[in-house]
Amino acid sequence: MTRIAILGSTGSIGTSALSVVEQQAGRLEVVGLAAGGNAARLAEQVARFRPRAVAMATGAAVDALRQAAPPGLPKDIAVGREGLVAVATHPDVDIVLCASSGTDGLEAVLGAIEAGKTIALANKEVLVMAGPVVMEAARRRGVPVLPVDSEHNAIHQCLHGREPAEVRRLVLTASGGPFRGRTAADLRRVGPEQALQHPTWRMGRKITIDSATLMNKGLEVIEARWLFDMSASRIDVVVHPQSVVHSMVELVDGSVIAQLGVTDMRLPIQYAFSYPARWPAPVPQLDLVRHGRLEFLAPDRDAFPCLGLAYRAAAAETSLPVVLNAANEVAVAAFLEGAIGFMAIPELIAEAMDAHQPFAVHTLAEVRRVDAWARDDATERIHRLALKH
């Protein structure tokens, strides 16, 4: 029996992970659950899975959970970042699935690594912000970091058993989001409602906007750089609207290995939980005949400048990815609130990156300091924009 903790259990990845647990009840057991503010859903999960450790983001959320009083609720409920750490480092946990949004999972992942837990990573920000810190800790402790993002999970599968010297490049596939084929001029007129209409995946609001700007793919380039110890110059992005090929690896002899599958996050989640074994999965088989044509296109970097900004940050291998990520989070939130336009997102990020003096990041304290500076900088720029209008 593999014992798991889920950080972000009430989100889309967390609920998919619990679906996998239900399907693999003889193999998986839930030990810890941590959630943001959705006390009602967490109460249902507690009643169903009876975890030994529970955490929520705020005291108010904990109060709401206690009021719901689900059967099996532990006496002690941890709060905030400390709560995530408590769940992630519980002595009975074998694998920690980090699916919490934003940057709050950083301390929990590092704590879990120090405690010797296997990491199943579904949160891009952890490696975007602190890739060198996290991967060095994992190497030192001999802890596997298994990707749950469908693209990185695909690459992990393609690389299985291969020596680094065999690999020429990694190829991440992108759906292209809701605005594939639009020009930069077109995109200056789009609003949040249009940007939230992803053609393939049902995701949270922030990651859906990141998909629309192609920042999501840029963050994945940075994540792949650290996960697979591959320079950004050897990581490419292609637009693949059908989302059947989840990513590819090109070998030095020109052979290309691809991972294909249905668009169902339960597959990469189960892969991380079962690795290195393979288990049957309760998902439809891929019907290639029904899909028919598979297309691959070059991304339009003029219309989607966030991708180029991410490559710039990845190539620098300094504190720039922290600035990129923080400024993007602030800009996306402002866009969703109607405070700025769609194309102002990359403009604000570029300005924050230009204003920053990059340096090599070695500690989590340094990451947090740069993150705070970038958020303040982006917020001030948005405020000045509002005053102009």
- Contact by Cβ (8 Å): 340, 334: yes
Can you give the pLDDT at residue 231?
95
Same domain? 66 vs 174: no
What sign does the CA torsion over 150, 151, 153, 157 have? positive
* Res 207: pLDDT: 86
Question: What total of structural domains would you count in the chain?
Answer: 2
Q: Looking at residues 29-51, what average pLDDT do you find?
A: 97
Residue 183 sits in the same domain as residue 317: yes
Domain range spanning residue 200?
Answer: 165-261+299-388
Q: Are 139 and 173 in the same domain?
A: no
Q: Are 294 and 174 contacting, i.e. CB atoms less than 8 angstroms apart? A: no
| pLDDT given for residue 386 in this prediction | 72
Q: Which range is least confidently modeled, 217-231, 296-310, 373-387? A: 373-387
> What is the domain-level CATH number for residue 228?
1.10.1740.10
- Cα(285)–Cα(380) distance, integer angstroms: 50
Q: Which residues contact 184 (CB under 8 A, 6 or more apart)?
A: 302, 303, 343
pLDDT of residue 5: 98
Place 205 in a pLDDT band, splitting at 50, 70 and 90.
confident
Say how many C-beta atoms besides its own lie within 10 A of residue 293's C-beta. Answer: 6
pLDDT in tens, 120-177: 999 888 999 999 999 999 999 999 999 999 999 999 999 998 999 999 999 999 999 8
pLDDT tens-place string over residues 359-371: 999 999 999 999 9
Angstrom distance (rounded) from CA 82 to CA 101: 15
Predicted TM-score (pTM) above 0.85: yes
Output the average pLDDT for the chain.
94
Q: Is the pLDDT of residue 258 over 90?
A: yes
* Cβ–Cβ < 8 Å for 66, 87: no
Distance, C-alpha 313 to centroid of its chain: 17
∠ CA 175-179-183, rounded to 5°: 125
Question: Are the C-beta atoms of 99 and 122 separated by less than 8 Å?
Answer: yes
Residue 283 forms part of a structural domain = no
Looking at residue 104, its pLDDT comes to 82
* Contact in structure between 110 and 134 (CB atoms under 8 Å): yes
pLDDT of residue 389: 54
- Evaluate the CA torsion angle 319, 325, 328, 330 in order and state its sign: negative
Per-residue pLDDT for 203 more than 80? no
**Does residue 135 lie within any of the structural domains?**
yes
For residues 74, 9, 269, 329, the Cα torsion angle rounded to the nearest 10 degrees is: -140
Percent of the chain residues past pLDDT 90, beyond the cut: 89
Whether residues 81 and 140 fall in one domain: yes
Summarize the confidence of residues 63-78 as an average pLDDT: 94
In a domain? residue 155: no
Q: Are strands 118-121 and 28-35 parallel, antiparallel or unpaired?
A: unpaired
pLDDT for position 388: 66
Whether 141 and 181 map to the same domain: the answer is no
Both 378 and 232 in a single domain? yes
Residues 32 and 130 in one domain: yes
Closest residue by Cα to residue 218 from 210, 227, 226: 210
The closest of 5, 211, 202 to 120, measured between CA atoms, is 5
- Look at residue 134 and tell me if it is in a domain: yes
Q: Does 91 map to a domain?
A: yes
| Residue 120: strand pairing partners | 97, 146
Q: What average pLDDT does this structure show over 242-255?
A: 97
**pLDDT greater than 80 at residue 13:** yes
**In-domain check, residue 154:** no
Model confidence at 116: pLDDT above 70: yes
The CATH number assigned to the domain holding 105 equals 3.40.50.720
Q: Sign of torsion, CA 58 61 67 68?
A: negative
Say whether pLDDT at 27 is over 80. Answer: yes
